[in-house]
Structure 1
Amino acid sequence: MAATTETLTAARILEATEEVLRRHGPAKATVVDVARALGVSHGSVYRHFRTKAALREAVVKRWLDRTLEELTAITSDEGRTPETRLRDWLTRLFAAKRDKAADDPELFATYFVLAKETQAGPAVGEHIDDLTGQLTRIIEAGVESGAFAVSDPAVEARAVFQATGRFHDPDYAGEWLRPEADADFRAVLELLVRGLRSGC
């Protein structure tokens, strides 16, 4: 059944946009294609998203937020020690990114292109801020419990995020399925945890 402008929501538009992107790719997908998939005029889509760039930014944000939700649960789980939270958080981040790349490589490639296109917009920067903010909270909890010996958790969080970039930055997606990827990840994780414990 075709959507009407009365029942059209931003969420429905974003779902349809994702399907259009999957079918046509970022170079060929248009707002008209999205509107056609919804059974509405392209003007109806523009009432929710003023430009094609705004629509693409919102799609990227929605995609990035899916990973963030899983990590938020780990960050706030006080039943785990801060060190366990850090290990689980970084492991889940790597797994989530790798799963996205392996399960739907065409859509992952599409989002990678869109994320590069929209880097000047707020979605990617806000996502990185959210991730490093969560890492900061985990490291702060570690400092408070005596598990970590660092003076500036925010600085350390950024360092941890950057040091593990090979395991979550889409630029490295081609390496994630290599046989040694898990061993490399564990080695980096152990090195980082030792550094946080010692304050080095």
Structure 2
Amino acid sequence: MTQPIDPRALDLFAFCRAGGEAAGEVAARDLPRIIAETAAHAPVSAPDEVFSYSLTGFVEEEASEPGTPATQHLYVDLTVNGLVWLDCQRCLGIYAQPIATDMCFEVVASEEEADAAPMDDDEIDVIVGSRRFDLLTLIEDEVLLALPVAPKHDVCPTVHESLVTGVDGQAEPEAEVPPEEEKRPSPFAALAGLKTKH
């Protein structure tokens, strides 16, 4: 069952141990780094775009040596869905980039533990938890990581004349008409003329 949480001050340790589930929405205007990435000519409603999220906490126990208690590992699974208005690098127009992320994080108590955590699992990242954890910052991080390196439409509605390549988008380059070459005498013909004079 989902539970109400304060996304700006979440006791992440207790949330994980309780097997908590939460869901909600956050507006783009509350994520300043996302606003900074938003296209300058995005619709005026862009700051009102919302990202929906769901958060699930759980615990996994790792067997220890006989006679010692099992080691507990805390985890949260975070999914984020929404869109960000970006500038297309191909046609220079704006477009809505869908965002859909799903990441699992191991929650540790300190930076030292995070630094010591093995980095061999691409499916799990490590974060430092707290009793007043700012979930919005984590959501913002995940949205930023999901943004494309080179934003562009799947198929551009138009292609800016300076960027027409004929490969991407729908527009094809116009065939270039080569300028008429000036008729110049062949240097070989001039040499032949010199030989005939001798």
Q: Which band: TM-score by shorter chain?
A: under 0.3
Q: Which has the higher strand share?
A: 2
Give the TM-score of the pair, scaled to structure 1: 0.26
Q: Which has the higher helix share?
A: 1
Give the TM-score of the pair, scaled to structure 2: 0.26
Structure with the greater alpha carbon radius of gyration: 2
